[in-house]
Structures are given as C-alpha cells and as structure tokens.
Amino acid sequence: MTNHVLRIDTSARHEGSVSRELTDKVLAKLAAKDVTVRDLSTPLPLIDSTWIGANFTPADTRSDDQKSTLALSDTLIAELNAADTIVIGLPVYNFGVPSTFKAWIDLVARAGVTFRYTENGPEGLLTGKRAILAVASGGTEVGSDYDFASTYARHILGFIGITDVTIVSADRLMVDPEASHKAADEQIAALAA
C-alpha cells in the first residue's frame, strides 16, 4: 500500500472530466489513505521577473519580500517532498499539457532545490518517488509523435528526479470512447498498489 499520495488535478473541468475520473480510480486501486490534493483548476500565478529574481538570490540573503514571493513554490515543493507517489490527472489540450500544469512545473522546477547542474549534466533531486499519469484525450493517441503532453510530463518529472513514471490513458475518446475507457480500466487494474 502506498504511504502518502499527492494528487494533482489539472483539468479545467470538474463535471465530466475523464482525467479526474481516472485519477479517482487510480487512488482507489492504490488504496491510498493519506492524500494531499492540489487542484489546478484555480490557476497558479505565472512566474515573472520578481519571482525569478527571488529564486536566483541565495536563500540566506533573500529579503522578506523575496521569501514571500517564493512561499507558494516552497509549499508546492514541500508537497512533492512529502509524497511517495504522485498521481497526476492530465488531459491533453491541443496536443500538450494544460497551462495550469505548466505553471505548476515552473514553480517546482528550481535549480538547487529540485534539480542541480553537475559536470555530467542536470541531476534530479526528488528521487525515490513514483508518478502515475492519468491521461485523457479526445483524439491524440498517447505516445504518438503528436503527443506532447505525456512525453513532456514524463520528461520534466524525470528532470526533477521522478523517473518511475507509469501512464494510464483513455486516449482517442472522441474516436471510440468505450474502447478507451476499457483500456484505461485494464491499465489501472494492472497497477501495483
């Protein structure tokens, strides 16, 4: 059984959201009792020059304003650090990830905090965690040449150290919804708790 799960919902929709439905099923399969929920349907702020200035100021010399600017980012990173498993409901919007997910990534991918640069290239610092992407799409086939959502999510998670990534998908829902749901249910049933 999974100890602590961070659930991240990225769909703008609540009612009728297939990614949220898949995420519910993944959590049921994991029998997760301790779950932190981060719902990105209320968008996060975008990073700006003030945020970048605070981020690149050494932690021990940051002003109170700079610390305040980074407070949300620190909270989001603390949620990641506390989780053993991260379950992300990820709809495909126009071949890519929802803008709210990209905003979350920008707030958690911080040099020296969640990754670092070494002479051998970047090294992710959030190791020993598992991620499950619950992907839903109307027409984009997950893993295809034009799927920039799951491939980006897998890459960026690996960049910050989360390399154990499983994808469950209900893709091409507008083509064959019954087969898409059936395939996703089979993938979820095969997940290790």
CATH of the domain at 37: 3.40.50.360
The pair of structure tokens assigned to 177 is 């919804």
Q: Tell me: is residue 17 an annotated ligand-binding position.
A: yes
Average pLDDT of the chain, as a whole number: 95
What's the number of domains the chain is made of?
1
d(C-alpha 127, C-alpha 146), whole Å: 29
d(C-alpha 128, C-alpha 34), whole Å: 18
The closest alpha carbon to 142, from 101, 108, 173, belongs to: 173
- The tens digit of pLDDT for each residue in 66-103 reads 999 999 999 999 999 999 999 999 999 999 999 999 99
Q: Tell me: is residue 135 an annotated ligand-binding position.
A: no
Give residue 101's pLDDT. Answer: 97
SS3 39: strand
Give residue 2's pLDDT. Answer: 61
Question: Which range marks the domain in which residue 136 is found?
Answer: 4-189
The pair of structure tokens assigned to 122 is 């970047």
For the whole model, what pTM was predicted? 0.94
Torsion over CA: 36, 100, 115, 130 (sign): positive
Give residue 193's pLDDT. Answer: 72
